[in-house]
Structure 1
Amino acid sequence: MNDIENRLKAIDFFCSGGGMSYGMLKAGIDILAGIDIDMSCKDTYEANVKNAQFIHADVFDLREDELERKMNLTKNDNNLVLIGCSPCQFWSIINTDKTKSQKSKSLLIEFSRFVKYFMPGYVVVENVPGVLRCKEESGLSSFISWLTATGYKVHFEVHNVVDYGVPQNRKRFTLIANRVTDINIIPIKQKGEVKKVKDVIGEHNGFPRIEAGHKDKSDFLHTVPRLSDINKKRLKKVSKDGGNRLEFANDPELQLNCFIGKDEAFKDTFGRLWWDKPSPTITTKFFSISNGRFTHPEEDRALSLREGATLQSFPKDYKFIGTNIAAIARMIGNAVPPEYATAIGKAIIKSQKNAI
């Protein structure tokens, strides 16, 4: 067989703005399509994942034979990769209100329908670690049992993406299954020291100093929300490079009522990133200083949209298209870091080459 016949191709379920698709494409896997219920992701996905089709669909309603016809897929294709990085709010330790995210707990079960129908050569699942803690309820346990019984070799583990070229501490459950070889496929770690905040953002990395409220109308999107006067005063009290809210806790004007007597709780709130460490997990609210340690290491403002994307390992020319800061930040925070996706993709390609 020639290289074209052996070219791996993927369908990315729950693709959002394309972090997984982009990273897999960078590794050398063709992306046939991304599927998502959120139409607001379409423009961003298509602007960055070249030649892939965006399919607007609710996976609960999408039928296997419908996808088969639409994408001209065949069953038992050794070169097909099915990817399912379902929204994970229900299993996240961050989200305490589970009522809004109730539907998301069954997404893995819906994804498994397509795996069972197509029997692809490779399967990738990426999610929060909580899906492993609740593997019975999430459907993960029965899915792994089915994969194993059907002849798939299954690797599943919680990995920290900081070990794979992402300048961020972010633990993610990852499953890679394959029926092409009898070898476990494990994401390929990056050699050398882990990347730190100072390696990717700051003036020396092409991020000009800006004030809170700065709007960048270029594609670079070095945009950051405004701050209230009292929050500006609070940040002036927080020391550069890793300071936290305890530095204004004894000021009656600046201390927040919700933190009185709770110095040990939520210490990262209003906290600054450290230059010499990886960032904390970039959430969908990374543009807000009151939602975690999301204050710039030395400037008195939250992280900009582009800084958050860069800490998620998106390239600086990745185009994010959205109606407002919150919508774009949600795409960034929910994304699979592209560099981590590349580490998964390279491992699959390496395994395939060894099998040929």
Structure 2
Amino acid sequence: MQEEPLSASRVVDLFSGGGGMSFGFHSHEAFKLVGAADVEVGKPSTGHGAIGCNATYEANMGVAPLQLDLGEVEPDELAVKILPDGLERSDILLACPPCTGFSRAVSRNYVEDDPRNSLVARVADFAAEFRPRVILMENVPQLINGNFRHHFAALRSKLNGLGYSTHAESYVLTRFGLPQQRERAFVIATERDLTIRSLDDLWRGWRIDAKATTVRRAIDYLPPVAAGETHPDDPNHTSTHLSGDSLERIKAMPHDGGSWPDLLGSPDTERHLIPSMRRAVSIGRPNAYRDVYGRMAWDRPAPTIKRECSHVGNGRYSHPVQDRQCTVRELAILQGFPRGYRFVGTSRKNLYRQIGDAVPPLISYQLAWLTNWILSDAKPDVEQLLLPGTHLRPSDLIRQRDDSPQLTLL
């Protein structure tokens, strides 16, 4: 068992969003959040502050992020603004720049290099100013293996020049207990006097029972609500309002994993097809975009929860049996947030976006334990890796033989 530290390691979070990465460290006694920053952009067209994620961050962490564009502010200027008086450095730097420009879900990313991608290498400039002992970054796998991976190569080169060792690897996060098919890359950089370790090292010899990573296990216990309603005991157990054709289309979808191709074969159900669905059928591709308006399946992990997860027409975000979009609370739990996490704001659509953009706290808590192991050389017991308030239980842990390769530095 890990001994309680004499003093907490100080954490700064850049691109802090709704707090998904920070919350894992906030929940660990070895760390203290001392500052955060986020520009709060919902969409490029909406401007700064539109998504309102800083209020959610403050409500859960007790730290008010600065609303700043990290592509414009100078690192020394940020340090003055973000660090408490008398503090010259942070111990941990969390830096998860936007993933939109790397994601394969955005078709233009196959040919166009999004200007926001340059924020990846810019993290090294902040590292030079804040001088952390450990740096952590999360992004889509294309950060390290996609068409624009040169941004990561530039980051790695700069960090190496600053005296850091760097490791990057992609994982499907169901492996670590997330009830969602979400694949993400994690970058860990440490000062060279530290032993760099990975999530593979943290979980060596153990795995999570697959039965613990299903939609049923995560959200089946929540009380029912109708489309557009808010449960009186939980303001975040609220879903997008549906009516007319959209509501009738969802009612027609078979329960427990139904998709729009299931509507084919009967005039009563085919009348719910939208033009894009009919075009797909006409060209012989009835399985194209089958997640649109689809229902989640009880006994499988949820699909990847993306930032535009606020409507059933954007993906497989419908409840397995209730005729509605999954609520903010349901998607938050499927994204690894604890049950009591508060999402703040008047725009329900932006609350959904805060969830889709987030690093799952269920995973960031494991990263906090990993970081503490790197700093203290005290490996945690596997039971300690389970974030309180989530769906995981000690009985979900299964011991296994492990023949995985040792860590390779980049």
TM-score greater than 0.5 by the shorter chain = yes
After superposition, the CA RMSD in angstroms is: 2.5
Name the stretch that deviates more: 333-342 or 229-238.
Answer: 229-238
Where does residue 88 of structure 1 map in the other structure?
99
Where does residue 341 of structure 1 map in the other structure?
364
Q: Which runs of 5+ in 2 are unaligned?
A: 41-48, 380-410
Where does residue 292 of structure 1 map in the other structure?
315
Counterparts in 2 of 1:167 and 1:181: CA distance versus 1, 3 Å: farther
- Cα deviation code 1:278-301 (max 9, x no counterpart): 111111232311111111111111
1:14 pairs with 2:15 = yes
Separation in 1, partners of 2:377, 2:241: 53
1:67 pairs with 2:85 = no
- Cα deviation code 1:43-68 (max 9, x no counterpart): 11111013x34112111232222233
1:279 pairs with 2:302 = yes
Where does residue 34 of structure 2 map in the other structure?
32
Separation in 2, partners of 1:282, 1:121: 32
CA contact (8 A) 1:242 1:297 kept: yes
- Cα deviation code 1:53-92 (max 9, x no counterpart): 41121112322222333314435x6xx1111111111111
Where does residue 245 of structure 2 map in the other structure?
230
Across the two proteins, how many residue pairs are aligned to each other?
A: 347
Where does residue 193 of structure 1 map in the other structure?
209
Where does residue 387 of structure 2 map in the other structure?
none
Where does residue 56 of structure 1 map in the other structure?
67
Separation in 1, partners of 2:162, 2:34: 25
Counterparts in 2 of 1:133 and 1:239: CA distance versus 1, 3 Å: same
The equivalences for 1:1-356 within 5 A come to: 3-5=5-7, 7-28=8-29, 29-38=31-40, 39=49, 40-50=52-62, 52-70=63-81, 71=83, 72-74=86-88, 80-97=91-108, 102-134=114-146, 138-179=150-191, 181-187=193-199, 188-189=202-203, 191-194=207-210, 195-202=213-220, 205=221, 207-216=222-231, 219-250=234-265, 251=267, 252-260=270-278, 261=281, 262-354=285-377
Counterparts in 2 of 1:293 and 1:101: CA distance versus 1, 3 Å: farther
Separation in 1, partners of 2:307, 2:148: 27
Name the stretch that deviates more: 39-48 or 327-336.
Answer: 39-48
What is the SS of the residue equivalent to 2:65? strand
The one-letter code matched in structure 2 to 1:118 is F
Name the stretch that deviates more: 305-314 or 183-192.
Answer: 183-192
Task: Give 1:150 shift.
Answer: 4.0
Identity over the aligned pairs, expressed in percent? 29
What is the SS of the residue equivalent to 1:156? strand
The one-letter code matched in structure 1 to 2:261 is L
Task: Give 1:146 shift.
Answer: 3.0
CA contact (8 A) 2:28 2:368 kept: yes
Separation in 2, partners of 1:27, 1:3: 11
Q: Which runs of 5+ in 1 are unaligned?
A: none
CA contact (8 A) 2:309 2:353 kept: no
What is the SS of the residue equivalent to 1:300? coil
Task: Give 1:215 shift.
Answer: 3.0
- Normalising by structure 2, what TM-score? 0.78
What is the SS of the residue equivalent to 1:235? helix
Task: Give 1:237 shift.
Answer: 2.8
Task: Give 1:180 shift.
Answer: 5.2
Counterparts in 2 of 1:119 and 1:280: CA distance versus 1, 3 Å: same
